[in-house]
Structure 1
Amino acid sequence: MKKKWLFTILFVCLFLLTNLSFISSVEFNSTQIDNAYTCLNSEIIEKGCQDLSMQEKVFSFLATGKCKLELLDEKANSGCFSNSGCNVQNTAMAMWALNEKSVSVEDSKNWLITQKGAPTNMEWLLQIDTADASTCSIIYEINSNPVTTNVDFNEDKTIGNLQTNNCLRVSQGGYWLDIDSNCYGSDFEISCDQDFTSSLIFKNSGDSAGTLHVLSGANGASADGKTIESVNSDCFEVSGVCNYEASLWSVLALESIGEDISSYMPYLIVMAEDETNDRFLPEAFLYFITQNNEYQYSLLNKQIFNKYWQEISTNNKFYDTALALYPFRYDDIVEKQNTINWLLEEGVQDEDGCWDNKNIKSNAFLLYSVWPRATTGSVDPEPVSTCETAGYSCEGRESCWNGGGRIIDSYTCSGAGYFCCEVGLSESCSEKQGEICDSNQRCVNGVEDATANDLLYSGEVCCVWGSCEDIDDDNGENTGANTCESSNSGVCRYSCETGEEETAYYSCSSSQVCCQEISDPKGTNIWVWILIILIILIVLGIIYKDKLRELMFRMKSGKKDSTGPNGPRRGPPRMVHQLRGPLPRRPMPPRQIPSSAKRGKGELDDVLGKLREMGK
């Protein structure tokens, strides 16, 4: 009893120590973050906002709310930013930060858009796809004059013939039409004598083996119908040349205020493949803007030692880490937690709470990306999220729309480019004017929708504007057929009778269910118990094999009575088996054979006489 209480007390103490350790760890981490904010605020105050660089003001304003007036003093009358002349990247970063704090940036946006240009290192291809051989006509304009050219497609989708023209030529491989750069911006009106689809493909012109990217939104038309394709590709220029880093920040700023950025995306996507642009960590921008999992995977795989990001050795690893984690401000992922653990390690974070030798830019960006807080201008602002408090979620604009949500303007999120998103309640399949198809059916002449709120089983889809048909298996037999009765596995009924149970392993051709007889559990249980008993007996036999061997020996030899002077003796005591050599066999005492009664001599003579007669 004492041992039982001792173990109970030890278990309770261990449980309390574990929880106290966890609580202490959380409180310690919170103290370290508070110290980081305090240290950053102290550095800003000590140096003075007026003496900070343009980007230091941007990130100080984002993280703490300080330096707003000094940041606005950097703006020129045209709306651009920088005290040393208009700068595209600085203007974009200022727009991004000011919009986060609900400061109007309309004039800056107007100036920024005037800095866009056309990329010269991109190649555009026109793709026309038909099921059979066909002839298509393409109409476009040159110097306001309409031009019509015809192109023939073979059954294998290669181009058989193309009329001579100034804008289009057969690309290498013969599947697409290469668009001349002088014709970018022109509308191409396409019509074919077969049903067809058209789309645009883009790639880096300097890389012959580069990846081909298909512009989202392919257009389709029936025979003799029309589609229109147009090449619209923009970048942001510095000194008359496309600048990739400036373009990344400019597109991020425009996206954060809700501007259409579709014309800039091809340039950002293609040039992300250029190794010279790796130092800008383009995956962080592209994942935040597009929510494409490919960019997320690439970005997270760049984490070094499960601790931080640093694209090239000359980059600041604290700044790169802040940029890499910016798209995950509201996410809880393993890579982010690994970074947090590293940042709070002794020797990484200084005793005063700062990192990176009190670098204001990297410290402010880290706190803004990893531990964002609402900026009230106080030394240690409190974390607030009015959107999440109201029960909504903070998402990127594209992510919200793609998930079927809508933007709630009356609530704000702590983070530039994040919007308060309300995901609407999904409709039932019937409300969508659809029909529910189960896993053994397919949607024919309709659109499969998996968002209906009355899809209860795995594999079900809502077939909108179409009908559900049973899927044919490899043998041409209908998988929706009566597998219940055809396999003699049961009987199809509308409801199972007494002594039967419904099974989902077999199907019936109608709305009936497959019913099987309920097996008698008693017989099964008896055999289970017999098996258990046999196993136990076998185990006991193995353990006590020596005793069983001796018992069997005694049973075979039987009991032997010996009478001595002291009367009957007990059997010999049980021998203790030891590892000894063979013992010499003890000679058995001579047995006294009881003498039989002697026969008379006459009787003996008679017997001998009979034997002699038999021998004759």
Structure 2
Amino acid sequence: MKKFGVLVVFLFLLLFSIISVSAQANSSSSVDSKALACINDNIDSKGCASLTNEELAFTSLVSDECRDELRDREINNQCWPVSTSSTTGSSDGCDLRTTAVSGLALNSGSAKDWVSTKMVSPSEITWYLQVDISDSSNVSSSCTASYDGKSYTFKVLTDKTLDSNAGSCLRRARSNYWFEVDNSCNNKLLTVSCDQDFTTSTLYSKRGDSSKYFLSSDTKSSSASGKTEVTIDSYCLSSNGRACSYEGTLWGVLLLDKRKVDTTPFIPYLIAFADDYERLGSYAFLYSLTGFNDYYSLLSASQKDSGYYDFSSSYKRYYDTAVALLSLNSYSTSESSNAKDWLSEVQGTDGCWGNLRDTSFLLYSSWPVVTSSTSGSVSLCSSEGYYCLANADCQDIGGDVFEDFTCSGVSVCCSKNIELESCGSQGGLICSSGQTCEGSIVPSTNAGQCCVDGLCIDIPDNTPQISECESYNGACKSGCFSDEEKKDYSCNTPFDVCCMKSSTPVSSGSLWWLWLLLIIGIIIVVLLIVFRKKLFKKKFGGSSDVRTSRPPFPPQRPMFRPMTRPMSRPMPSRPSNVSRSPARDKELDDTLKKLREISK
């Protein structure tokens, strides 16, 4: 009987170990593979035809399943509308953001060409030309400005002011220190010459805003009687051919940059209005396009302690985090690592993050995905020993771009890498949790924010902070509903508890073999119980008529232990007032007889 129990326990332990190991292997599967499974499951359940153009575009960034449907909805083989109710397109016109995302997904040259036709000169920006004399002597300088085949003379006085306008294109502004460039003169070649060593610079600002000016990279110097050439080359993207669309410009420029089009003329417009459109992730886009550390610093300020990004956009935190990782994931920084750790923590049991769009966008921004659109020969950039960088950074360090190897998001595969320095070597300080940098935050090899040109200061206690529970998509309340479960994440209010929707069961289709193992194990145990009598008869040679009830008296030795001699120990006396029936006496005699036979 003991061996039978041991056997049953062993079978249960074996079955439990198999299921535990299998479940652990399933739970530790990669975050990106689970996200891709979520996307494919959604497509299978909904069907490509039922997806919106936005869902189709973002899904096609990482999956081949609905790309044919996306191509069918292309209008005039060049662009996509915001929404459509049929595969033939809609009469509401094409949308810059939807077309740009679709172009990225399909690597479409026609989408790039259509976006390029939407370039307009931004009337919302005012450009200035500064002419500065290098000689510090108190002598004015005579200069000439030439354009449209005509020349106009002016002087730079000893106090650095200008004495006159230079035609209709260049009119004095800002207390006569600069020329304001008329919008009609954008894209014209302006040639400047002076009789002393001089420098020309271009600056810009939002029209009507005198509080902030931006210096462009177009600064040139010349010796006396030499010349400099200046062209105001500034654009934005417009859906209607008049007003600029900031979000459309962000995405359109991202597509043009990916297609190796020079995006420099768009940068001034994006920079000038970046603060106004922070909610759209402007700092992330600009860091990706320019590599300027100022935007890295501004972007880092939007990261929460839990690791996600929140721009207070209408798209919510998953989308915002995807936008941030679009620019950060090319670099091994603590900010990108923290964001991906948070994504791993909050990923649903079905592999999803929120909706289909957000899951697709996060997968595209954070993990390289090889699909059929990248051709069968394409492999991961890192696997070939190269480096995924922003296109601008690869160009700055003189690297070669390899088209045959893929990276996450809009990064390119570069032959060279940017070596990050430690925070200390950059003269910075590491800000701890609960602190913020009052200077600039720069990328470094250290964990935490590297603060340069400033100090790490404590965040005031009255600064609103999102709770740990809410950062993991939970809700803080006094009690949880029946369809919710209590979690250990903290809330800002001590009497609240963290409630989250009960975890949805894992799809039975992916774990059918675990159920099969469980059923087989149960069948084996049942068979062992049913046929235990025959098994023990065969094993021990005893009668199949084994009594399972408790014997009427305490056994002297284990029932199945072989005995070396007949039992001689007398039976314990029973109380005299307890009578035994003849039937019970006969049953006892028979049992003792069998025991004697076994002991022979």
- Tell me the TM-score normalized by structure 2: 0.59
**Distance in 2 of aligned mates of 1:257 and 1:151:** 43
2:118 alignment partner AA: Q
Give, in whole Å, the separation in 2 of the partners of 1:404 and 1:313: 36
Residue 209 to residue 421, structure 1, CA distance change in 2 (3 Å): same
Pair 1:269-2:271 in alignment: yes
- Structure 2 partner of 1:153: 156
Query: CA–CA distance in 2 between the matches of 1:93 and 1:257?
Result: 13
SS of residue paired to 2:264? coil
Please give the per-residue CA displacement for 1:248-273, whole angstroms capped at 9, x wherever unaligned: 11110000000111211111111113
Q: Alpha-carbon deviation of 1:222?
A: 1.3
Q: Mind listing any 5+ residue stretches in structure 1 that lack a counterpart? A: 1-23, 100-104, 425-616
Q: Contact 2:165–2:179 (CA<8 Å) still a contact in 1? A: no
Residues 290 and 349 of structure 1: is their aligned pair in 2 closer, same or farther, counting only changes over 3 Å?
Answer: same
Aligned residue for 2:323, secondary structure, equals: helix
Secondary structure in structure 1 of the residue aligned to 2:360: helix
Classify the secondary structure of the residue corresponding to 1:264.
helix
Pick closer, same or farther for the CA change 1:246–1:26 going to 2, 3 Å: farther
Task: Work out whether residues 122 and 204 of structure 1, in 8 Å CA contact, stay in contact via their aligned partners in 2.
Answer: yes
C-alpha contact (below 8 Å) 2:133/2:141 kept by paired residues: no
Shift of 1:120: 1.0
1:60-209 pair list within 5 angstroms: 60-82=59-81, 83-84=89-90, 85-99=93-107, 105-132=108-135, 133-141=139-147, 146-159=149-162, 161-163=163-165, 165-209=167-211
**Distance in 2 of aligned mates of 1:256 and 1:138:** 41
Aligned to 1:81, what secondary structure does the other structure show?
coil
Which of residues 365, 372, 389 is equivalent to 1:369? 365
CA distances 1:434-461 after superposition (whole Å, capped 9, x unpaired): xxxxxxxxxxxxxxxxxxxxxxxxxxxx
Q: Structure 1 CA distance, aligned partners of 2:312 and 2:54?
A: 21
Equivalent positions of 1:430-579 (< 5 A) are none
Shift of 1:323: 1.0
Do structure 1's residue 400 and structure 2's residue 402 form an aligned pair? no
Q: Partner of 1:433 in structure 2? A: none
Matched-pair contact (CA < 8 Å) for 2:370–2:380:
no
Residues 250 and 370 of structure 1, relative CA distance in 2, 3 Å threshold: same
Deviations 1:150-170 (A, max 9, x none): 2222334233x1157322222
Q: Is it true that 1:423 corresponds to 2:416 in the alignment?
A: yes
2:347 corresponds to: 349
Matched ranges for 1:249-398 at <5 A: 249-274=251-276, 277-312=277-312, 314-345=314-345, 348-356=346-354, 359-375=355-371, 385-398=379-392
1:415-437 deviation digits (Å, cap 9, x = unpaired): 3532221139xxxxxxxxxxxxx
Give the Å deviation of 1:201: 0.8
Distance 1:31 1:214 in 2: 46
Instruction: State the distance in 2 between where 1:34 and 1:387 align.
Output: 18
Please state whether the residue corresponding to 1:46 is helix, strand or coil.
helix
Name the counterpart of 2:237. Answer: 236
Deviation at 1:369, TM superposition (A): 1.6
Larger radius of gyration: 1
* 3-state DSSP of counterpart to 2:141: strand
Task: Specify the alignment match of 1:614 in structure 2.
Answer: none
Q: Is the 8 A contact 1:134 1:192 kept in 2?
A: no
Counterpart Cα distance in 2 of 1:324 and 1:163: 45
Q: 1:319 to 1:421 in 2, by over 3 A?
A: same
Question: What letter corresponds to residue 186 of structure 1 in structure 2?
Answer: K
- Contact 1:124–1:200 (Cα < 8 Å) also in 2: yes
Change (3 A) 1:191 1:66: same
Residue of structure 2 in register with 1:469 after alignment: none
2:250 partner amino acid: L
Q: How far 1:122 sits from its partner (Å)?
A: 0.7
8 Å Cα contact 2:330/2:411 also seen in 1: no
Q: CA deviation at 1:78?
A: 4.8
- The 3 A distance-change label for structure 1 pair 30 and 122 is same
Q: Aligned-pair distance for 1:390?
A: 2.0
1:167 alignment partner AA? C
Q: CA deviation at 1:370?
A: 2.1
Contact 1:135 1:193 (C-alpha < 8 Å) held by counterparts: yes
Deviations 1:93-134 (Å, cap 9, x if unpaired)?
1112222xxxxx232222221111111111111011222344
- Structure 1's 32 and 81: CA in aligned 2 closer, same or farther, altered over 3 A? closer
Q: Compute the displacement of 1:281 (Å).
A: 0.8
Q: Aligned partners of 1:147 and 1:235: how far apart in 2?
A: 29
Contact 2:134/2:199 (8 A) holds in 1: no
- Per the alignment, residue 30 of structure 1 pairs with 29
Query: Does the 8 Å CA contact 1:303/1:309 hold for their aligned counterparts?
Result: yes
Paired with 1:27 and 1:135, the residues of 2 have a C-alpha distance of 77
In structure 2, how many angstroms separate the alpha carbons of the residues matched to 1:32 and 1:392? 23
TM-score, normalised with respect to structure 1: 0.58
Whether the 8 Å CA contact 1:135–1:150 is kept in 2: the answer is no
User: Alpha carbons of 1:421 and 1:340: their partners in 2 closer, same or farther (altered >3 Å)?
Assistant: closer
In 1, Cα distance between the equivalents of 2:395 and 2:56?
32
CA offsets, 1:8-60, max 9 Å, x none? xxxxxxxxxxxxxxxx9998553554333222210111111121111211221
Deviations 1:305-362 (A, max 9, x none): 33322222633211111111111233332222222332233xx332222221xx1000
Aligned to 1:221: 222
RMSD of the alignment, in Å? 2.6
The residue identity in structure 2 corresponding to 1:139 is A
The question of whether the paired residues in 1 share the 8 Å contact of 2:369 and 2:408 is answered with no
Percent identity for Structure 1 against Structure 2: 34
Cα distance per residue 1:555-583 (max 9 Å; x no partner): xxxxxxxxxxxxxxxxxxxxxxxxxxxxx
Amino acid at match of 1:42: D
Unaligned 5+ residue runs, structure 2?
1-22, 82-88, 418-600
Tell me the alpha carbon deviations over residues 512-556 of structure 1, each in whole angstroms, 9 at most, x when there is no partner: xxxxxxxxxxxxxxxxxxxxxxxxxxxxxxxxxxxxxxxxxxxxx
- What secondary structure sits across from 1:398 in the alignment? helix
Rounded Cα–Cα distance in structure 1 between residues aligned with 2:245 and 2:341: 36
Tell me by how many angstroms 1:221 deviates: 1.6
**Residue 138 of structure 1 contacts residue 188 of structure 1 at CA under 8 Å; is this kept in 2?**
no
